[in-house]
């Protein structure tokens, strides 16, 4: 059973920054595309970003492009999401998910809650 454990969530003021981490284990992290997906309270799922296995390519949702940066450290089996210029609309549970060769995702972490509020 693979493990994905997100951390770094919390309460942050509008306009500030936050970095999320996702620690991966029990699979070869460096061989997989990884994603971030979020879910605002009581709402549906929204794909946020993906990064290819080697970190060479990144893709973003329009709603976060230019403000969020996905990255990874394959030596630490860890995925990151740097979030800048946060607004209330970014309040959500953020999940990391392991990608497949087809770019969907097969396993998810438990999520970390980010609340943007003054």
Partner 1 sequence: DIQLTQSPSSLSASVGDRVTITCRASQGIRNDLAWYQQKPGKAPKRLMYATSTLQTGVSSRFSGSGSGTEFTLTITSLQPEDFATYYCLQYNSKPLTFGGGTKVDIK
The residue ranges that bind partner 1 (CB under 8 A) are: 35, 44-47, 50, 59-62, 95, 100, 102-111
Query: Which residue number, 29 or 105, has a Cβ lying nearer to partner 1?
Result: 105
Query: Which residue number, 18 or 37, has a Cβ lying nearer to partner 1?
Result: 37
Give min distance, CB of 61 to partner 1, in A.
5
Structure tokens at 25: 């284990």
Query: Which residue number, 11 or 45, has a Cβ lying nearer to partner 1?
Result: 45
């Amino acid at each position: 059973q693979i493990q994905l454990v997100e951390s770094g969530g919390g309460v942050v003021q509008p306009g500030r920054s936050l970095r999320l981490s996702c620690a991966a284990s029990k699979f070869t992290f460096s061989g997989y595309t990884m994603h971030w997906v979020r879910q605002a309270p009581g709402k549906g799922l929204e794909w946020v970003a993906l990064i290819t296995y080697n970190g060479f390519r990144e893709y973003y949702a329009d709603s976060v492009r230019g403000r969020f940066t996905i990255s990874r450290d394959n030596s630490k089996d860890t995925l990151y999401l740097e979030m800048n210029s946060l607004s209330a609309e970014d309040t959500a549970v953020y999940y990391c998910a392991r990608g497949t060769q087809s770019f969907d995702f097969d396993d998810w972490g438990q999520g970390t809650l980010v609340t943007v509020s003054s």
